[in-house]
């Protein structure tokens, strides 16, 4: 019997599910294998209490991120970025910038391809940089820990997102005001929010922006 040829998007979902399950299995197997090798097993009751306190938050964030990132990254980009990680700091800016330069939308087949390629390349480049960093970390440690350079390293991510923000805010000025004001207010007046909460605040900002965009559109402002 002749096999039915899968469309591009169907093949993306097929391969994405397969590799997602494989990677998930590897991630779960890693601590188990280490525990077996070194004979160091965690106390199951303490582990269960820890998971009970933290897992629900990550489940909620994971569900929100799916609805947040899929429209922006496309199916292929989402599968790949979820496997390789560092979405909000690296994969999302790379994909959005690549699609912007190619003048394509994420919900088109062209956008799917561009997004997936950009995320794949960023993953490869990141891996190569990490390899170089691991090799050079010892000789470069005195330089990297220099008090003169420390302020510059603290500003790398703000500089990256500042540059991206100027581009996108200038193109969507009316829509950008509300989410920018909200995020500034939250991070200024809520001390508990810090760099570690960025992954949670990105979906919050996206949902808020969508709601504001809907309201502005209904009022004829956009």
Sole residue written with tokens 């008090």: 147
Q: Does pLDDT of 2 surpass 60?
A: no
Taking a C-beta distance cutoff of 8 angstroms, is the pair 75, 13 a contact? yes
Taking a C-beta distance cutoff of 8 angstroms, is the pair 47, 185 a contact? no
Percent of the chain with pLDDT over 70: 94
Q: How many CB atoms lie within 10 A of CB 52?
A: 9
Its sign, for the CA torsion 96, 97, 103, 109, is: negative
Average pLDDT over residues 67-92: 84
Mean of pLDDT over the chain: 82
- Position 1 confidence tier, pLDDT thresholds 50, 70, 90: very low
- Residues 160-181 have pLDDT tens digits of 777 777 767 777 788 888 888 8
End-to-end CA distance of the chain: 53
Average pLDDT over residues 117-141: 88
The CA-atom distances, in angstroms, between 154 and each of 135, 165, 182 are 22, 18, 24
Tokens of 194: 């810090």
Domain annotation covers residue 189: no
Average pLDDT over residues 177-204: 77
What gap in Å lies between CA 160 and CA 89, rounded to an integer?
A: 9
Domain annotation covers residue 198: no
Domain annotation covers residue 83: yes
Q: Quick one: CA torsion of 98, 102, 103, 105, rounded to 10 degrees?
A: -60
Average pLDDT over residues 103-120: 87
In which domain, by residue range, is 104 found?
A: 8-171
Domain annotation covers residue 120: yes
Sole residue written with tokens 């209490």: 49
Q: Does pLDDT of 93 surpass 60?
A: yes
Residue 176 Cα to chain centre, angstroms: 20
What gap in Å lies between CA 92 and CA 119, rounded to an integer?
A: 8
Confidence (pLDDT) at 196:
64
DSSP 5: P
Domain annotation covers residue 193: no
Number of domains in the chain: 1
Q: How many CB atoms lie within 10 A of CB 78?
A: 27
Percent of the chain with pLDDT over 90: 7
Burial call 165-180: b when 16+ CB within 10 Å, e when fewer: eeeeeeeeeebbebbe
Sole residue written with tokens 């390293």: 153
Q: Which residues in the chain belong to E strands, given as ranges?
A: none
Domain annotation covers residue 192: no
Domain annotation covers residue 90: yes
| Max CA distance (Å), the chain | 69
Domain annotation covers residue 1: no
């Amino acid at each position: 019997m002749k096999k039915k040829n899968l469309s591009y998007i169907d093949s993306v979902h097929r391969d994405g599910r397969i590799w997602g399950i494989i990677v998930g299995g590897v991630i779960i197997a890693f601590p188990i294998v280490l525990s077996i090798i070194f004979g160091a097993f965690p106390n199951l009751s303490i582990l269960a209490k820890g998971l009970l306190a933290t897992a629900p938050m990550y489940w909620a964030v994971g569900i929100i991120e799916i609805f947040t990132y899929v429209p922006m990254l496309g199916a292929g980009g989402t599968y790949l970025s979820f496997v390789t990680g560092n979405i909000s700091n690296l994969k999302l800016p790379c994909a959005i910038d690549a699609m912007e330069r190619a003048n394509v939308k994420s919900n088109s087949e062209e956008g799917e391809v561009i997004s997936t390629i950009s995320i794949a390349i960023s993953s490869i480049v990141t891996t190569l940089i990490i390899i170089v960093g691991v090799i050079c970390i010892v000789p470069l440690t005195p330089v990297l820990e220099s008090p003169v350079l420390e302020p510059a390293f603290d500003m790398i991510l703000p500089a990256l997102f500042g540059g991206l923000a100027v581009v996108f805010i200038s193109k969507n000025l009316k829509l950008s005001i509300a989410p920018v004001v909200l995020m500034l207010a939250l991070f200024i007046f809520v001390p508990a929010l810090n760099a570690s909460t960025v992954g949670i605040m990105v979906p919050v900002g996206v949902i808020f922006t969508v709601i504001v965009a809907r309201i502005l559109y209904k009022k004829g402002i956009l």
